[in-house]
């Protein structure tokens, strides 16, 4: 490999790491203040122009530490909400720093190991995807745990209503008696009500933080009951029963599609594993895929068919209830 390419790659990697660390340190200072502002003022939607101007000034002070890269990413997706849904206590800047840093380390590792240059983007992409994969798995686990706890929470609120307590007291009871993650969300909802935020807005904020269809049913039922009246305890019992029935059906579907999921994992993992084994045993045989024009077309077709197969298998085994 050309020394000029190595020097350029090292320079770019070092600059990227320095910029990423700077973004992480700058964004960390503003995170706590922003969280407090979101809790105290962001969800209320009330107040006069003077208070709004003061809030804007305070937000401007905390936004000074944000980098353009973080703002750019936030325009195309709410990264901070994605991180909060996974209960990962880092900011969007720190997430960006970890992603860029690991991608740079992967590229440097390939360069210093003396492997072919086409492995650099592969290694950078693989290591750079680790933070996203970690957050995605944590988010899926947390939302799954929330969904499993929701029927018990609805029944607890229903029993509190039948015992003569208010809805706010029932929400507070869920926050006190149940475990995380549902306890934290309902406790935050109760605290926001104590700060003067209307119940409708607190429930809407919780449904935005937790994208769960059953939770949206609960919020809609509460809002409609407050507007039109009715037996809220009975409504919550029916929603809880519906959620439990759906979980039972989903478990049956998971058991029936288990063989298909395992087959999909094996089929998707087999080509990359065979490629690595063949490259270690006979590199010249595998390099034809990268040096010959027909080999490049075959490799591109194989990657496309691999992705298409993964998409089809996922659609087959992903049955929504």
Please state, in angstroms and rounded to a whole number, the distance separating the CA atoms of residues 295 and 305: 15
pLDDT of 95:
86
- Do 92 and 215 sit in the same domain of this protein? no
| Count of domains for the chain | 3
- Do 165 and 98 sit in the same domain of this protein? no
- Do 28 and 57 sit in the same domain of this protein? yes
What tokens does 175 get?
A: 């926050």
Contact (CB, 8 A) for 244 and 220: no
Arithmetic mean of pLDDT, 139-146? 92
- Do 134 and 147 sit in the same domain of this protein? no
From 81, 115, 140, the end of a domain falls on: 140
What tokens does 167 get?
A: 């809805």
- Do 104 and 13 sit in the same domain of this protein? yes
Which residue is associated with the tokens 């240059």? 117
- Do 38 and 113 sit in the same domain of this protein? yes
Please state, in angstroms and rounded to a whole number, the distance separating the CA atoms of residues 279 and 115: 11
pTM reported for the whole predicted model: 0.67
Q: Determine whether 134 is exposed, middle or buried from the number of CB atoms within 10 Å of its CB (0-12, 13-18, 19+).
A: middle
229 Ramachandran zone, left/alpha/beta (phi>0; psi -120 to 50): left
pLDDT of 44:
43
Supply the range of the domain harboring residue 232.
143-252
Kindly give, in sequence order, each residue whose CB lies less than 8 Å from that of residue 195, ignoring residues fewer than 6 positions away.
39, 40, 44
pLDDT of 6:
53
**Percent of the chain clearing pLDDT 70 (strictly above):** 75
- Do 262 and 182 sit in the same domain of this protein? no
From 140, 173, 188, the end of a domain falls on: 140
Mean pLDDT, the chain, rounded, equals 77
From 91, 121, 140, the end of a domain falls on: 140
CATH number at residue 152: 1.20.81
What is the tens place of the pLDDT at every residue in 161-193? 999 998 999 999 999 999 989 999 999 999 999
What is the tens place of the pLDDT at every residue in 284-306? 888 888 788 888 888 888 888 88
Q: How many CB atoms lie within 10 A of CB 290?
A: 11
Kindly give, in sequence order, each residue whose CB lies less than 8 Å from that of residue 78, ignoring residues fewer than 6 positions away.
none
- Do 190 and 245 sit in the same domain of this protein? yes
What is the tens place of the pLDDT at every residue in 24-70? 544 444 444 455 445 444 444 444 433 333 333 334 434 444 445 44
What is the tens place of the pLDDT at every residue in 220-256? 999 998 888 888 899 999 999 988 988 888 888 888 7
Confidence label for 111 from pLDDT (cuts 50, 70 and 90): confident
- Do 170 and 95 sit in the same domain of this protein? no
- Do 159 and 87 sit in the same domain of this protein? no
Q: Determine whether 287 is exposed, middle or buried from the number of CB atoms within 10 Å of its CB (0-12, 13-18, 19+).
A: middle
- Do 105 and 225 sit in the same domain of this protein? no
- Do 310 and 263 sit in the same domain of this protein? yes
Please state, in angstroms and rounded to a whole number, the distance separating the CA atoms of residues 10 and 23: 20
Please state, in angstroms and rounded to a whole number, the distance separating the CA atoms of residues 286 and 296: 11
**Cis peptide bond N-terminal to 236, omega within 30:** no
Any long-range contacts for 271-279 (C-beta under 8 Å, 24+ apart)?
271/302, 271/306
């Amino acid at each position: 490999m050309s020394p000029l390419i190595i020097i350029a790659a090292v320079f770019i990697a070092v600059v990227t790491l320095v910029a990423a660390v700077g973004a992480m340190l700058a964004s960390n200072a503003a995170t706590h203040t922003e969280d407090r502002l979101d809790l105290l003022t962001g969800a209320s939607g009330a107040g006069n122009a003077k208070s709004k101007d003061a809030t804007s000034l305070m937000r401007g002070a905390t936004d000074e530490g944000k980098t353009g890269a973080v703002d750019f990413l936030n325009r195309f997706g709410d990264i901070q909400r994605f991180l909060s849904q996974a209960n990962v206590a880092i900011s969007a800047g720190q997430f960006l720093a970890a992603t860029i840093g690991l991608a740079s380390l992967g590229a440097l590792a390939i360069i210093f190991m003396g492997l072919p240059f086409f492995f650099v983007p592969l290694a950078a992409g693989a290591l750079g995807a680790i933070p996203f994969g970690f957050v995605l798995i944590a988010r899926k686990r947390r939302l799954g745990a929330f969904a499993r706890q929701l029927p018990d929470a609805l029944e607890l609120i229903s029993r509190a209503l039948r015992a003569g307590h208010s809805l706010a007291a029932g929400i507070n009871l869920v926050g006190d008696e149940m475990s995380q993650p549902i306890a934290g969300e309902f406790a935050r909802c109760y605290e926001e009500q104590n700060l003067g935020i209307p119940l409708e807005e607190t429930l809407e904020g919780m449904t935005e933080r937790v994208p769960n269809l059953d939770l949206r049913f609960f919020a809609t039922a509460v809002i409609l009951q407050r507007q039109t009246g009715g037996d809220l305890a009975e409504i919550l019992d029916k929603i809880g029963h519906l959620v439990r029935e759906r979980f039972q059906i989903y478990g049956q579907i998971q058991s029936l599609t288990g063989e298909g999921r395992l087959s999909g994992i094996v089929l998707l993992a087999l080509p990359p594993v065979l490629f690595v084994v063949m490259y270690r045993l006979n590199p010249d045989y595998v390099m034809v895929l990268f040096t010959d024009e027909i080999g490049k077309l075959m490799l591109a077709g194989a990657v496309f068919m691999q992705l298409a197969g993964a998409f089809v298998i996922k659609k087959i085994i992903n049955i929504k209830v």
